Chain A
Amino acid sequence: MGILRDVAIVAGHELGEALRSRRVLILALLYLGGAVAGTFILIEVLAGLEAMLAQTLAVAASERPGTFTQELMSSAEAQRFLAEVLDDAELAAELVTIPPLALFYGWMVINFCPALVMLTSSEAVATDLATGAARFSLVRTPRLSFSVGKLVGQAALMAVSVMAGAVGVWVTGYFQFEGFAPGPTALWMLALCGRGFVYCLAYVGIAIGLSHLTRSVPWSRALGLITLGITGMLWGIAHLDRVQEAAGPAVRALVPLLPRAHQTDLWRPDLLDRLPALVMLCALCVIYFALGYRFRARRDA
């Protein structure tokens, strides 16, 4: 009970610190700005494609893009095309039911948030170790509750940022996208926020784990980015045909240790099909956090 209380206090302080130092504001603006800019670019590209198609078919183009895209998305041809690309008919059937901008938002969260998480969270513990401020807390609470509090605080910070991104996409779509369905899009975005949050949680675990490895803030940031690069490379290598053929079962068993190994399953329509991926991503968060924590716990504060 005492430990849980301490975790909540440290996490609350971590979030409060981020608010006070305007880190939350900067992060939220970064996510919001990125989402708005990304949505604008997407809408511009769609507008260009729709105009080109309207010209080819000699029909009048709509003032705002979206109508044709949504028609296309719900067509049997699009579903067939997606099924071939994904090699998964069930998943393709699910994807075409998602409003286009919600789908875009989900794609953005999964592909861009990990980088931002690694950039911002990998210094969370290292900063306090570098300045010695950790000592003021560690004389009052065990190391575990301090570190878990940091993890929870950073996860909450990430949740706020992911939500800010959703707001950005929704508002941009509302004003710029023809046939935008506010209700269904918002509901889908909320659902994808949750899935994106769990996906990024694995990266928060990696970042906080790494943050325990060094007392140097620049080094902890560098470690975060290097690790992000390495996991990306490993994922790419693991998908080379030659590697897949040559890899033994042991190597193949290691692939699930990469968060990216679970991203496709997050889109599955049935909760029971998504559950293993969600559980595994939470487990990866705990595993990577525990590895970093164990390294620091055996050392002096």
Chain B
Amino acid sequence: MSAPALELEGVRKRYGSTRALDGLSFQVQRGSITGLIGPNGAGKTTCFGVVGGLLSPDEGRVDVLGMGAFDPLKAAGRLGLLPQDCELPRHTRVQTYLRYLARLQGASTRDAALQTDRVLDQVALQDRRDSRISELSHGMRRRVAVGQALLASPELILLDEPTSGLDPRLVAQMRDLLVAQRARGASLLVSSHMLAELEAVCDHVVFMEAGRATRSGPLAEVTGRARIVHFVLAHPPELAALRDKLPELQARYEGNTLRVSLPTESSPAELNDRILAALLALDAGVLEVRPGESLETVYLSD
């Protein structure tokens, strides 16, 4: 198994008397998308700053791409970062600024132009390449900011609230963009308050609270996709009738949704088939089968 793309171990960072990070530990596996979830003030932005080398941790170990702490001279272009609440320079034209940043991470003038073209395609801003940043809407500026993190096709991409201020169509485009980055082998760490969006793209999640990871793991495990199945039914039958057919069933109703906990020793696929067969036999009218809890439900109940 290859080393993780990013590993934090016992990282602490204080601002005066405030503990922004208080022993934060988690990993981002190579070729995966990890969602970083937590309330405002949990330390997510500080975490991004520490990983990107913008902030110095007081204690702990940060290992970026197996090279230790991030050093822009040694790893130019291998890490892309979208920091939160950073304004792009207002007077600069979009392509001029992206080319400058590409050059700064080692690209030749020609490569910088090519990278800029590719990124402008990815964030759908080709038609605004010659616009000054001050002429762009908030959403467009956000896309330029995301685009700069994708220059040079970095191996590790850190995105702090990439969908903030984007309309639903652009959020969907952003989701496709993240998936495409993973498909080419990049590892991503993404923070967002839009949990449904994270759930749609993430392989792993990390819950943060008061500067530390309170829970982390594969999304399927955290949301219980292998252990819980929801059947949304048009005509929910009596539980007793179901248990007559499946005596080992552990289930309860939440409205017209049957929530089934699968025993760990059984094969989920086989059991699901049997439950589905029983529901069809009882004419329950199965409208939807949903594995696991929603990320939002898990997060809010944590």
- On A, residues with C-beta under 8 Å from B are 2-3, 6, 9-10, 13, 16-17, 20-21, 128, 131-133, 135-142, 300-301
Contacts and interface: CB of A to CB of B under 8 A. Distances in A.
Contacts of A301: 49, 54-55
B87 A139 contact: no
16 contacts: A10-B104, A17-B89, A20-B96, A131-B89, A132-B86, A135-B54, A135-B86, A136-B86, A136-B145, A137-B104, A138-B72, A139-B54, A139-B72, A141-B76, A142-B71, A301-B54
Given A20-B91, A20-B96, A140-B76, 7 more contacts: A13-B100, A21-B91, A132-B87, A133-B89, A135-B86, A137-B101, A301-B55
Contacts of B88: 133, 136
A19 B100 CA distance: 15
Contacts of B72: 138-142
B83 A20 contact: no
B104 A132 contact: no
Which secondary structure dominates chain A's binding surface?
A: helix
Interface in B254-278: none
A300 B45 CA distance: 13
A131 B86 contact: yes
Contacts of A10: 104
B96 A300 contact: no
Instruction: Tell me the dominant secondary structure on chain B's binding face.
Output: loop
Size category of the binding interface on chain B: 20 to 34
Interface of B: 49, 52-56, 70-73, 76-77, 79, 81, 83, 85-89, 91-93, 96, 100-101, 103-106, 132, 145, 148
B92 A300 contact: no
A70 to B, nearest CB: 46
Given A17-B89, A20-B96, A136 B54 contact: no
Contacts of A136: 83, 86, 88, 101, 145, 148
Contacts of A141: 72-73, 76, 104-105
Contacts of B55: 300-301
B104 A9 contact: yes
Nearest to A13: B100
Nearest to A149: B104
B92 A140 contact: no
A3 B77 CA distance: 15
A58 to B, nearest CB: 61
Contact of B87 (A6, A13, A133, A138): A133
Nearest to A21: B91
A3 B106 CA distance: 11
A21 B133 CA distance: 12
Contact of A9 (B54, B93, B100): B100
Contacts of A128: 89
Nearest to B145: A136
